[in-house]
Amino acid sequence: MRKEEGRRKKAENRKQKTENRKQKAEGKIAYQLKPQTILSAPIDRKIG
């Protein structure tokens, strides 16, 4: 059961990464090197 959860999380992370890469390529995400700003506002970045 725990193994499956880990698998699901990994898959979600992979999806998120590819999605972010696509958006970055399109210039939708203003990519910042500060991880704090990314962590504090991931939601409105998805909306915007």
Give dist(CA 9, CA 45) in Å, integer: 21
Does position 47 have pLDDT exceeding 60, yes or no? no
pLDDT band at 43 (very low <50, low <70, confident <90, very high): low
The residue type at 29: I
> Among 6, 19, 11, which Cα is nearest to 46's?
19
d(CA 41, CA 28) in angstroms, rounded, equals 14
Q: Is the pTM of this model over 0.75?
A: no
pLDDT tens track for 3-41:
888 899 999 999 888 887 877 767 665 555 555 555 555
Residue 48 pLDDT greater than 70, yes or no: no
Rounded CA gap, 20 and 31, in Å? 10
